Amino acid sequence: GVSARPFLPELSGSDTAGSIGRLRDAAAVCQGCDLHGPATQTVFGVGNPNAKLVLVGEQPGDREDLAGEPFVGPAGQLLRETLAEVGLDPAELYITNSVKHFKFKPTGKRRLHVKPAAREVAACRPWLEAELDVIRPKMVVALGATAAGVLLGPGFRLLKSRGQVQRSDHAKWTIATYHPSAILRVPNEQTRETMRRALLEDLHFAAEHYR
């Protein structure tokens, strides 16, 4: 079946930076599912390989696909503004995605984001698991339903349990919150502001507890 598994390197030793580097190099040539074909490049996680707090998004967008870095587009701007508001330095954290290639539909000159299919999320999951195995953070924040599903299981309901501390195999504490892209897509300004405040509150909680 489709899986990144055959592309994962053997890791040994306690050099977390070296291990993340080996994962990154191997992921660059991953063909574990069909998404590598149309995309520009693998967008692997960035930041501190010894981070105590890891943020997990869905998949790279148009800008991330071109830059080769997660959260550098509009969603990234909202995320970075919110991190700054709660006093979190992105360089201290590790930021990654559930799926490492951009999935899109070409429409004229724009490439429109398409939600990854369950089989693609499952195929890519070994990379995220390997990142978390190496980093062993104290806290993981799932940004949006895709990351929440990967980290907390398909039964997790974001609207019901957003911001509540969950047990998971990946970290002592895992919480799920709104995805910044989901916030930006909301047309109603009041609803958008309510969601932005919820994201702020959840990242504030993370900032207070991740050490």
Judged by the rule CB under 6 A, the positions of this chain that interact with ligand SF4 are 4, 27, 30-33, 35-36, 42, 99-101, 120, 123-124, 127
Q: Which two tokens stand for residue 165?
A: 């501390």
C-alpha–C-alpha distance, residues 120 and 101, integer Å:
10
CB of 116 to ligand SF4, least distance (A): 8
User: Of ligand SF4, ligand URA, none, which one does residue 33 interact with (CB within 5 to 8 Å by kind)?
Assistant: ligand SF4
Burial state string for 100-112 with b = 16 or more CB within 10 A and e = fewer than 16: bbbbbeeeeeebe
- Which of 6/151 has CB closer to ligand URA? 151
CB of 157 to ligand SF4, least distance (A): 25
- Strands 94-97 and 46-47 turn out to be antiparallel
Give, in order, the Cα–Cα distances in Å from 148 to each of 1, 66, 145.
23, 26, 5
Contact by Cβ (8 Å): 32, 149 = no
Q: Tokens 């998004």 correspond to what residue?
A: 57
CB of 172 to ligand URA, least distance (A): 24
By CB under 6 A, the residues from 84 to 123 that bind ligand URA are 97
CB of 169 to ligand URA, least distance (A): 22
- Which of 116/163 has CB closer to ligand URA? 116
Within 51-188, where are the H helices? 62-67, 74-85, 118-135, 145-152, 158-161, 180-185
Size of site (CB under 6 A) for ligand URA: 13
| 55-63, 126-134, 166-174, 182-190 -> range binding ligand URA (CB under 6 A) | 55-63
C-alpha–C-alpha distance, residues 176 and 92, integer Å:
20
By CB under 6 A, the residues from 172 to 191 that bind ligand URA are 181
Binding site for ligand URA (CB under 6 A): 57-61, 64, 70-71, 73, 75-76, 97, 181
